[in-house]
Amino acid sequence: MTRSMLFIVGIGPGGRDHMTLRALEAIGAADVVVGYTRYIELLEGLLEGKEVVSTGMTREVDRCRAAVKQALGGRSVAVVSTGDPGVYGMAGLVLELLERMDPEGTVPVEIVPGVTAVSAAASLLGAPLMTDFAVVSLSDLLTPWEVIRTRLEAAASADFVLALYNPRSRRRVRHLEEACRILLRHRPPDTPAGIVRHALRPGQQVLVTTLAGVPGCEVDMMSVVLVGNRATRTWRDRLVTPRGYPLGGEPSASPEQAGSRIPNPPSPHPLPRHDSSAP
Amino acid sequence: MTRSMLFIVGIGPGGRDHMTLRALEAIGAADVVVGYTRYIELLEGLLEGKEVVSTGMTREVDRCRAAVKQALGGRSVAVVSTGDPGVYGMAGLVLELLERMDPEGTVPVEIVPGVTAVSAAASLLGAPLMTDFAVVSLSDLLTPWEVIRTRLEAAASADFVLALYNPRSRRRVRHLEEACRILLRHRPPDTPAGIVRHALRPGQQVLVTTLAGVPGCEVDMMSVVLVGNRATRTWRDRLVTPRGYPLGGEPSASPEQAGSRIPNPPSPHPLPRHDSSAP
């Protein structure tokens, strides 16, 4: 007899190496593990003796409803998401279903955060994020394209680094081009960009390109596209967005000099409009 | 004799539980561990037999320069950041220093991503992110306040969920109020918000409030503030931003019904301007 419990677990990008100890523990403690078939496969070896409920890509509601039912039935359940369950993952859906199916809140819930796909992709590209960034999914399955477009425009105009999830699917081929057209109104065509497919799991591909080059690249639902801000540079095969630390030629003041402070650099992130003639 | 190597390691929010296996391995493989004093303390027990270089909060450049020197001297070095080293962490600074100090790229570098502070905070608040979100640091030490304000305005106007890092310091007491005033031009005062201090490490405090309530709360540099978008709700003590899955009263189509698809709901994220009279 196990105690009823509902874990919503982020397994990180997919490889065992980038799971947290708590995620391993939560899966270990569960009687039932629920997830998308392809992600369940990443957990091979951790699931012996457990009941596994796995369904295809668009069956999220069924999967999460099954998980809540099992937990209400007294079992210990782990719903697994790749990356972090709070970032385009299952945390919200499970809570929405609990609100309906367990309004009294009888089932204890623990959300176990994980390494996001954008953190995984960024780690392979160098340091593209570093300063303020916006994360936007280009999938218009649940969010109208008009809203997505507004967000891209706003984030581009304010010089956010951009991370694009779900950049292209078999059915949805033009959205990434349109997204890049929006960004090109605010950033030069040679703005450094990167595409990482299957970050930190088998099949990994890493590509450094430019904003203008993104639409011509191989990109799919397993990819994350990162577009630098106006300060992002490339060094060797890496993207770097300087946060603005003054490096100078001189070593900075010695550690003993307590209370000294890195001074404000003169406007490291200027925000002029760029008169790019769209490609 | 160890092979020269430079790891830039995200240790996650701080507790051992939320470190990845790769982060533990990288620290285990290092001769020298470099980090901010308070974060080095979180690694107690992992550092036996290692040289430790730790300095205070504003000594990032010195710390990272020391790390690069050690790696150039043939040692295996781990620079540790809390959260993810690519999100307001040390990855960018180390790469910028390598560009100057090791222009040929002789030192192998591995960036180990970690669970970010925003993922940790979100996991404790429920599911506030879930859809498109923007991450903004309110520290104007390295970014001019005018740029930060522009980003807040843009993100608020396009209905991004907002995660605010470095929301308030002892010297910088008005920035959070001004940030909330900007957000209140686009969102109702009762927009759900959450404040998490020391997420997933000793001293953790979790508070669910509203956008109008944020400035009056206890907030410091160890806190992350999350502000919902126009769809974010509270359920019991949790924030939920619905991603837009149609839940209906009826169970959705059976899993056997291959090829069926969750339909687009009617505009789950409307973007009307809110005529809030500022508080």
Q: Torsions phi, psi of B233, nearest 5?
A: -125, 170
Phi, psi of B218, deg, nearest 5: -75, 115
Token pair 């992600």 in the structure block, residue: A39
Q: What's the rounded Cα separation, in Å, for the pair B37 and A40?
A: 39
Min Cα–Cα distance to chain A from B256, Å: 10
Bridge partners, residue B227, by sequence? B162, B193
Residues of chain B positioned with their CB less than 8 A from the CB of A142:
131, 243-245, 262, 264-265, 268
Enumerate the residues of chain B whose CB falls inside 8 A of the CB of residue A91: 122-123, 126-127, 130
Q: How many other β-carbons are positioned within 10 Å of the β-carbon of residue B279? A: 11
B269 with A86: Cβ contact below 8 A = no
Pairing of strands B161-165, B223-227: antiparallel
Measured CA to CA in angstroms, residue B16 lies from B10, B81, B178, B232 at distances of 12, 14, 36, 31
Per-residue confidence (pLDDT) for residue A55, from 0 to 100: 83
- Enter the DSSP assignment of A176: H
CA-to-CA separations, A120 to A19, A116, B96, in angstroms, rounded? 12, 6, 20
Q: What is the pLDDT of residues B205-262, one digit of tens each?
A: 999 999 999 999 999 999 999 999 999 999 999 999 998 888 865 443 333 333 333 3
Give mean pLDDT, residues B100-106: 95
pTM of the model: 0.88
- Model pLDDT, residue A164: 98
- Share the mean pLDDT of chain B: 88
Q: How confident is the model at residue B55 (pLDDT cuts 50, 70, 90)?
A: confident
* Per-residue pLDDT tens over the stretch A21-41: 999 999 999 999 999 988 898
Classified as helix, coil or strand, A251 is coil
Q: What is the full DSSP assignment across A197-225?
A: ESTTSTT-EEEEEETTTGGGS---TTEEE
Instruction: Please report residues of B whose CB lies closer than 8 A to that of A236.
Output: 105
Interchain contact, A120 vs B130, CB within 8 Å: no
| Preferred mutation among B19, B106, B142, B226 to probe A, highest tally of A CBs within 10 A | B142
The distance of A84 to chain B (nearest Cα, Å) reads: 7
Which pLDDT does position B265 carry in this prediction? 35
State the pLDDT at residue A271: 36
* Residue B199: predicted pLDDT: 96
CA distance A251 to A248: 7
Cα distance between residue A85 and residue B202, in whole Å: 23
Residue B73 identity: G
Q: How confident is the model at residue B81 (pLDDT cuts 50, 70, 90)?
A: very high
Q: Does the beta-carbon distance from A269 to B144 stay under 8 Å?
A: yes
CB contact under 8 A, A86 and B143: no
Residues of A in contact with B122 (CB under 8 A): 84, 86-87, 91, 111, 113
Low-confidence ranges of chain A (pLDDT < 70): 1-2, 57, 248-279
Other Cβ atoms closer than 10 A to B221:
15
What confidence score (pLDDT) does residue A6 get? 98
CA nearest B169: which of B193, B146, B204, B139?
B139
Give A167→chain B minimum CA distance, Å. Answer: 13
CA–CA gap between residue A259 and residue A257 (Å, rounded): 6
Instruction: For residues A168 and B263, give the distance between their C-alpha atoms in angstroms, rounded to a whole number.
Output: 18
Q: How confident is the model at residue B120, as a pLDDT?
A: 98
pLDDT digits (tens, 9 = 90+) for A80-109: 999 999 999 999 999 999 999 999 999 999
pLDDT digits (tens, 9 = 90+) for B6-51: 999 999 998 889 999 999 999 999 999 999 988 898 898 999 999 9
ipTM, 2 dp: 0.88
A142 → closest Cβ in B10, B88, B243:
B243
* DSSP H or E stretch at residue A91: helix A91-101
CA distance B11 to B186: 36
Q: What's the pLDDT at A266?
A: 36
Distance of alpha carbon B122 from alpha carbon B240, whole angstroms: 10
User: Counting one residue from A and one from B, how many pairs have CB atoms under 8 Å apart?
Assistant: 313
Q: In A, which residues are within 8 Å of B144 by CB distance?
A: 264, 267-269
Asked if B5 contacts B79 with a C-beta cutoff of 8 angstroms, the reply is no
Q: How far does A174 lie from chain B, in Å, by closest CA?
A: 18
